[in-house]
Amino acid sequence: MRLALVLLLLTASAAWAQLPDPESSESVGGGVAGSEEVVPTTVDLASCQRYDVTPGALMAPPASAALATPIPWTELELEGRFIESKDTVRRLLEPILAPYRTSLSAATMPQVALLIARFGYQLVGHHTVDLPNGTRLVLELAPLPLVRRVDVKIARSYLGITGIADKPLDDEIRQRMSIRTGTYLPLNSVLRRCQLLEEERRVVEYLHDEGYFEAKVEIFTVMEVSRAEVRVRVTLGDAFTVGKVTVQCPPGTERNKRGRCINPTTNTIEELAISEATIKNQFAHSRFCLTKICFGTAHFNREQHQKDLEEIRKQFRRAGYPGVRVVSTEPVQYLNRKTRTVNPTITIDPRRRVEVEFVGHDPDAIGDGELRGRLTFDAAGSADDVEVENSARAIRTLLQEKGYFDALVTSSRERYDSEPKPGSSEVGVHFDRITFHLSPGRQRRVVSVDFAGNTPDVIKDEDLAKLVETKPNAGRSLFRSVASATSLHLIEDQERIKDAYRKLGYLNAQVYPSASSSKAGLDNPALTATLLATDDRGDLHVRFTIDEGTPTLLSRIVIAGANGAPIDDGLCTGVLGELARVLKQDEIAVRANEPGCVAIANTLPYHVEKVGETRAHLQREYLFKQGRTRSQVELQVVPFGIDRVEARYTLRSPEKLRIGRIVLRGNFKTSKNLILRELGFKEGDSLTSDAISEGEHRLRNTGLFDAVNIEWPDLNCESQQRTCNSEVINAIVRVEERFDNKAEIIIEGGVSSYNLWFGTFRLNQRNLFGRGLRFLASLTLGAKLKEAEGTFRIPPWIHSRLPRKAQFTTDINGVYRQQDTPRFGLLTTQGFGVAITKQWQPWTSHVWNFGLHYDFRLRSRNVDALRPIGADQDESQVAISTRTGSVGATFEWEHRIDREGRLSPFAPEGGWRFEVSGALASPALLGQDTFVKVSGSASKFFLLWNQLHLRIDGRYDQGFPLGGAVLLPEVERFFAGGDPTVRGYADDRLATELVQVGVPPLDNITQIRVIPAGGNIRVLGSIDAALPIWQPTNTISLAGALFTDAGLITNSWRAVDIDDPSELIPTAIRPSVGMGLRALTGFGVGALEYAVPLRPQLGDDPRGRIHFYFAARAQF
């Protein structure tokens, strides 16, 4: 029943696509007059092959008879449904349709349809209307469906071990789809279904490569007017593993009853050099391993399968078979669906074995392994005579690199063929022995490198010495032994010197390298040969003799338009002035007294590279920035007399351009006005390169979009093989929204040694009302913590009346917290704050943040009463409150980067972070006390040996009581100890105080209590080294860590001194050391650490403490 309904709907949609428009001679499906559109009754990959599923393409090609019939027109009219106003769409299309006023025909209609599709419209049909003064072309348009989001949901099914070690497939599937957020879909339902079928095929093919051979994929769309949501539903089924691996006998042999490979012609045994057991074992992989303990069987993966085949090739090459061929059957053709296994057959053709020998060298000086590393056989997959010669040259270069400048290398080949007796168990012997005969000669060190013939005013000797790779010997040391010269190095140095002279305008410079065992033999080939044959001192002198020739001058500069047309005077003056500035030659700025735009120079050296760079500079850094964004600059340098050249610049399309209509695509939620305002340009502005780049940059910096792309369809019309006839350029701004949802709900839960168990609910609403406003609310319930917090963020662009450089981000927050603290017991905090922040990015990977803030906090706690209180005098504690109001400033310098140098605050592998802040509290700010707090913190990150992550942290906090007070208010003091600060010590107990109290009801017995003590000053430091030890998938990693922490709590720097001269650090500083394991998974993070205090005091456990943390997170 369901299948019948689907077929009925497809048939109905196909029939609708063929219905003719009663007001037009064109078909609704996007065809043209004279074409017969055939829509398949069943939609499958085979029937879809004949159709172009490109969004906006015509449904069917026009009939050949109608191809050449012209459709001239003088006016343009639009009909149909539009996203923008009809007038805006008409202005968008007029520049791209103007070249077709006389050339429009059925043959060009597909091209026109694709041009219209760039603006998001489907050409549904067209017709013409005769007018008294011409013809009106009427185009019927409809908006193409724009993909709002691609939703992928995967249903997994497993046999045995669950999929914790499997990599996430959602993003992998999205990356392999051509349909993505922001792309268009065909308007016609049949074409749209064809496109989805192709996407299904692509996804299924990828899942097969991942071992899911029974995966089922269904892709469908949920349409709403001119937008669509693409939903991908995947049922993986069970993953297949590698089962029985069959190894075929070598070509020309067959397997006998005993399982051995026999040549049927000679009845001899032919075995592979690598045993079949070793080959089969190469394809066996465990699901995941912890050190050397492995679990489960890995499922089939095509990438791993190809790596296994390559490893087998390497094994055969190491065994002397450089030409080996290893192939496997297509996995999908050899499946056992009952056992869920892939059973490939491996065919190996080893080709002829090659043995390599090296003779004539000292194995202690040059090992065979080093020589074999220079052979080219494996890389070429052959050991023919060509590769033998290539290998000999490579070995000679190696010898010369080691100082054997006179080295010679020859080779010889011997063939060995020995057939065993028929029927015997012996194996035939067939191989080639290639012998390389080495004549290293005497090892020579380069003792001098000098230069002759160069003029110091052009290039000095020291500059040439830096340029060449051949260096004189600096003596033996730990890192350098013998400086060598090779033929290849000398040739490369020769070209380097010639290139340096060419860049300076010496186009005819020649360089002649020479080497001799004596300086007397330099530049004398006959004497050099004699000395090298007889001199056994081992010295080598190198000289580069330079014939500079005469410099070439740039004497004349000519600026012209296309085909030699003259350019206007203002443009000529500007271009000549810019060339004078770049080439640093003022006389170029003066126009010569002759026709055209010409400048004369008398003493300007022709620096090839510098002059060549002026072409791109004029185009991009001068003309583009002046609004001549369609300009193309061509440069031709031609001879102009003896040792003189003329630079001819041709400026094509140098007219100034203006911005036309701006249309937006992809902003399903974000306000149109916000995007247009942040672009920074509007209709009628000059179209400069700065406007383009800065507009994209500002939109990306809002953080509201994953992708921003501004297209100018009318800009590069020549590259689209159409005439440029408009100086007004329309823009299409395509964005991919990052927060295209009503809200994010995040649920977290976990346990830690600091807070015990806890659970958090977060509601995150970003891009409220489409204006980038953000509201974040969180509720935390735990054994020691209960907290409710809300933050409302106003982005800088809301302050649009302020100059752009003065706009700032505003945060308004409120908090209510109840926390069980070691010092105060249950501490209740209520408060709110307002902060404004300004951000700059002075360099690519650096961010500065400067903020001003006001904070109000009311903290309440119970303290012991001196005497019982209450109506019945049965209450032993009294509640007290501390009210604080403060204003302050914060500066942050963010430079945490990844290994590529990109900003990466959440996963840094290098760089640093620095922050300083200060705050003033006063009764005038609704508080009770007056004091000043200053803080500073810094973090430095290193990546050592490409694996070890090293982090160094430091923090300093100090409070200055004012108004006669000596100490900060108790709840404002600084505490340390425990997980967040110095591990190995109890929470907040880095500094303690001893309190002696009685034991009621006994009067003569007292007890000592150790309670946390805060201070006016806190200094913390930490060094942490983490090394990854296990990563079975991209979403699971385990790292081991070693760390040391140290901290100081005091009320005065005078209390920090060294009591014992034998101590290296003051006794007030309390360090600790520890180790731990840290896990990062796709669903949560965890850590288990053990730290030992190095300076335990009363109340500390000298055996150390265990610190643990685990939190899981789910996002909806």
- pLDDT (mean) for 431-445: 88
How many angstroms separate the CA atoms of 945 and 937, rounded? 27
Which residues is 131 bridged to in the sheet? 134
Instruction: Render the burial of 860-872: b for 16+ CB within 10 Å, e for the rest.
Output: bbbeeeeeeeeee
Please check the confidence at residue 537 and state whether its pLDDT lies above 70: no
693-703 confidence digits (pLDDT tens): 999 989 998 99
Model pLDDT, residue 33: 38
Mean pLDDT of 702-717: 88
Pairs from 277-282 (Cβ < 8 Å, separation ≥ 24): 278/315, 279/245, 279/247, 279/312, 279/346, 279/348, 280/245, 280/247, 282/308, 282/311, 282/312
Alpha carbon 21 to its chain centroid, in Å, reads 50
For residue 820 the two structure tokens come to 């069980």
Assess whether pLDDT exceeds 90 at residue 526.
Answer: no
d(CA 849, CA 809): 11
Q: Biggest alpha carbon distance in the chain?
A: 121
- For range 125-145, the mean pLDDT: 92
Rounded CA gap, 839 and 846, in Å?
11
Residue 983: which of 1085, 1076, 1050, 1084 has the closest Cα?
Answer: 1076
Q: Model confidence over 284-313: pLDDT tens digits?
A: 887 655 555 555 678 899 999 999 999 999
Identify the band that residue 197 occupies on the pLDDT scale cut at 50, 70 and 90: very high
* pLDDT of res. 746: 92
Measured in degrees and rounded to the nearest 5, phi and psi for residue 951 equal -130, 135
> Among 231-240, 402-411, 922-931, which stretch is predicted with the lowest mean pLDDT?
402-411
Could you tell me which CATH number the domain at 658-737 has?
Answer: 3.10.20.310
SS3 sequence, 133-160? CEEEEEEEEEECCEEEEEEEEEEECCCC
Homologous superfamily of domain range 353-439: membrane protein fhac (3.10.20.310)
Residue with tokens 């140290």: 1046
Pairwise CA distance, residues 320 & 486, whole Å: 30
- Residue of 445 and 961 predicted with greater confidence: 961
pLDDT digits (tens, 9 = 90+) for 1015-1056: 999 999 999 999 998 877 667 889 999 999 999 999 988 877
Q: What is the domain partition of the chain in residue ranges?
A: 2-144, 147-237, 241-349, 353-439, 445-547, 553-652, 658-737, 792-1026+1044-1071
| pLDDT for residue 1019 | 96
- 75 Rama sector, left if φ>0, alpha if ψ -120 to 50, beta otherwise: beta
Q: Do 353-439 and 658-737 have matching folds?
A: yes
Please state which CATH number belongs to domain 147-237: 3.10.20.310
Task: Provide CB contacts within 8 A for 477, sequence distance 6+.
Answer: none
Q: Is 857 exposed, middle or buried (0-12, 13-18, 19+ CB in 10 A)?
A: buried
Instruction: Say whether pLDDT at 1104 is over 80.
Output: yes
Give CA–CA dist 935/917, Å, rounded.
Answer: 5
Looking at residue 476, its pLDDT comes to 42
Give residue 257's pLDDT.
80
Q: What are phi and psi of 933, to 5 degrees?
A: -120, 135
Distances, alpha carbon 469 to alpha carbons 157, 163, 349, 473, 497, in Å = 61, 55, 44, 12, 11
**Tokens describing residue 802:** 């302020």
Mean pLDDT for all residues in the chain = 85
The model's confidence at residue 5, banded by pLDDT at 50, 70 and 90, is very low
Cα–Cα distance, 998 to 179 (Å, whole number):
76
Residue 75 has pLDDT above 80, yes or no: yes
- Select from 686, 742, 737, 729 the least CA-distant residue to 708: 737
For the cut 80, the answer to whether the pLDDT of residue 420 exceeds it is no
Overall CATH class of domain 553-652: alpha beta
Q: Which residue has the tokens 């001119």?
A: 226
Residue 858 CB neighbours (<10 A): 17
> Dihedrals φ, ψ of 148, to 5°?
-85, -40
* Model pLDDT, residue 231: 95
Torsion angles phi and psi, residue 13, rounded to 5:
-65, -40
Predicted pLDDT of residue 150:
93
Mean pLDDT of 130-141: 92
The residues facing 349 across adjacent strands are 325
pLDDT greater at residue 157 or residue 543: 543
Contact assessment for residue 912 and residue 940, using Cβ atoms and an 8 Å cutoff:
yes
Cα 555 to chain centroid distance, Å, stands at: 47
pLDDT number for residue 38: 45
What pLDDT does 272 receive? Answer: 86
Classify 269 as helix, strand or coil: strand
State the DSSP string of 778-789: EEEEESSEEEEE
Residues in Cβ contact with 65 at an 8 Å cutoff, skipping those fewer than 6 apart: 34
Instruction: Of 738, 550, 746, give the one whose Cα is nearest residue 642.
Output: 550
Q: What is the pLDDT of residues 474-495, one digit of tens each?
A: 544 433 434 567 777 888 899 9
Q: Name the β-bridge partners of 955.
A: 937, 1020
Instruction: Using a pLDDT cut of 70, give the percent of the chain over it.
Output: 87
**Which one of 1.10.150.80, 3.40.50.410, 2.40.160.50, 2.30.40.10 gives the CATH number of domain 792-1026+1044-1071?**
2.40.160.50
CATH number for the segment(s) 445-547 = 3.10.20.310
Query: pLDDT at residue 875 above 80?
Result: no
Label residue 867 by pLDDT band (50, 70, 90).
low
Supply 1113's token pair.
């997170």
CA-based radius of gyration for the chain = 40
| Segment 942-999, tens digit of pLDDT | 999 988 999 999 999 999 999 889 999 999 999 999 988 999 999 999 988 887 766 6
Task: State how far the Cα of 359 lies from the Cα of 370, in Å rounded to an integer.
Answer: 14
Q: What's the pLDDT at 435? A: 95
Assign 50 a pLDDT band (cuts: 50, 70, 90): confident
Cβ atoms 862, 879 nearer than 8 A:
yes
Q: Give the confidence band of 204 by pLDDT, cuts at 50, 70, 90.
A: very high
Q: CB within 8 A of 24, min separation 6: which ones?
A: 125, 126, 127, 138, 140
Q: 951 forms bridges with which residues in the sheet? A: 941, 1024
Q: Name the class of domain 241-349.
A: alpha beta
- Check residue 67 and give its pLDDT: 57
